[in-house]
Structure 1
Amino acid sequence: MKLIHTSDWHIGRSLYGRKRYEEYRSFLAWLADLIAGEQVDILLVAGDVFDNSTPGNRAQELYYQFLVEIAKTSCRHVIITAGNHDSPSFLNAPREVLRFLNVHVIGCITDSYHDEILVLKDTQGEPELIVCAVPYLRDRDIRKAEIGESPADKERKLVEGIKEHYQQVCAQAEQIRVQLGKMVPIVAMGHLFTTGGQTVEGDGVRNLYVGSLGQVGNDAFPACIDYLALGHLHMAQKVEGAENRRYSGSPLAMGFNEAARNKYVCQVVFHGRQPEVSLLPVPIFQNLEGISGDWKTIQHRLEELKTCGGNVWLEIIYNGAEIIGNLRERLDEIIEGTSLEILRVKNDRVLQQALSSINSEETLDDLDTIDVFMRCLDAHQIPAEQREELLGVYNEAVAALYEDGSDE
């Protein structure tokens, strides 16, 4: 029995204003071909199918077209659980129809743990797998708020609630396995942050957690689980080194900080109850690259990329000593007529230079808005003949902010 474990598609996500529908179309086509070519029996999608709770028409179209394509392959079952970015009600709405395609959707928990347990059957109608399809567990679903409780109390109750939920669901799954009289594997799914999980700056996950907030230890998952398929963290990784407890990671780089990282789906082949796990690399459908340094470094790398002739989306971070007021214009001139596209330019030097002109004994509280602007003019060595016009435009902008009479 062969499974593919994936998660964190985030269909509909944009990158600095650029929509990525063609990337998602290419990924889903690749995944459908992989499932057909590898004769995959079961597909697990562990949350964050969409990037937000109200996906647009094109995102929905990609999702449903993919499920139709999968129905034409050898894949007998698709199990989809909701992540924190998904709307439980939106995912659940078509689940009765999707069930005719052997697509099982679990958008949220219910009053019965049994609703999260799926007994999947093979082509002969015999049970072949038990899936504990646990969706993203929201705070309000597993913890009761009490007056006067401390942040530590909230943290403890949240982790205890998650642990209790998995204990209950897995206990019922184990009971079902005993009743079947057949030692079929148990797979559990989840969308959460485990202790020691690795994140990348800018991946959309790191900022959700402070310290140990919401982080669940490996001991939260019962020993009866033969494979644990997790989502939420965008880097493919093991849970505390366990071979059979994995994050598949996101199939696409969520930002430029992930651009150099390989992306995967997990292939799981069961021999009885023993899983054999391997990582299958996902192709790059849109090249991303972040370039940082002084002007010479940036210029040199752009010239190299021009020679390669590829279609690359770029993030430029300038941190050289020279003040470059027309940085964007210079960059656009270099890439004109190429397939290179700059999505973001960050000029670290401008702010640093402006603030460095503040006396060491001064603070921003000592300066008004005009003082700060004048320091910027000084930092950029703006000629006296240009200052009057610039100051007039600046004063208009400041005045516009206070038209409502507010001083905030």
Structure 2
Amino acid sequence: MLSREERAIIRSTVPLLESGGEALITHFYRMMLSEYPQVRPLFNQAHQASGDQPRALANGVLMYARHIDQLDQLGDLVAKIVNKHVALQILPEHYPIVGACLLRAIAEVLGEEIATPQVIAAWGAAYNQLADILIGAETGMYEQKAAAPGGWRGEREFILAARVQESSEITSFYFEPADKGAILVAEPGQYIGMKLVLDGEEMRRNYSLSALADNGQYRISVKREPGGRVSNHLHHHFPIGSSIQLFPPSGDFFLTQSDKPLVLISGGVGITPTLAMLQAALQTERPVHFIHCARNGGVHAFRDWIDDLAQRHPQLKRFYCYDEDDGLSPAADKVGLLSQEQLAQWLPQQRDLDAYFLGPKGFMAAVKRHLKALGVPDGQSRYEFFGPAAALE
């Protein structure tokens, strides 16, 4: 536990983190990834290049400093970090590397006049405190997943059993365990971590499970991203019968049981976790409004499957919104961006509902504003990022 003096020092650095935290963390990543190649597979280099990962960590460090006297208020943030770490198999031996590089970055970026020995010592103690919290939570989660039916710890070999092209950009991949054993049942909305080696370089990625894992298979549905090494490898160089290492499903964004009407809103490849949620909801009597937005019909994945579900389940209402009409695909219910007025028409009359939404950041920010303006309680409006978390303003 930090001393009162150490907490005071951490609080005093908050203004510095507010103004220069991103530069500090960018320096930290550059140093760590160049000097410790063993941790490079744990970080998506595309997120590094875009600045998303440094911004996310800088915000996390800032939130930690702001709440150094009230760590209980960081429960949601800690849960999200722990789930991401478990999905990528972050281990206790990784933490000293991160801590040493973080303290060096503080000293080198802030300079000796600000980063005094007392400041470095306080941040060292604060980091060790946070590391202990995360390691404890992650160890418990690893053990829980290993002990569960069909569970395991670390990597497990899976074989690609099938692949299906869902749109011009998205392909689904079905994985079965090489040992033919049972698999851990995932919560609808969770993701799974994978490890693969491309051109001699190990890479790890998380992908949402796009179907319930109730048939001995895991399904992910991957968008082919321009320049994306892993997504393009899966699309173009990963035939049926290929082997891959998977980590147990993880994630704190999943469908919870409720009698309230359910609204699932997705943009683009953000549709993937909502598919498992939809499957789970249709096993109950719960009313479901499924709203999907895409650029056009050519990139709209799973439309036929959802249309078929709507025919067979009267409780399901589905609505599609396209940015543009390509003139070739079946028509959408609305052409143009999803407006508040349009969303109001597609929501249930009862605003005491549960909403889950995913997609590009700008899309999610707009959906969050619309839901709030339309009277959906903040605590019943949930979202997830497909990468480093960020604030939705």
Output the TM-score relative to the length of structure 1.
Answer: 0.26
Larger Rg: 1
Q: Give the structure with the higher percent helix.
A: 2
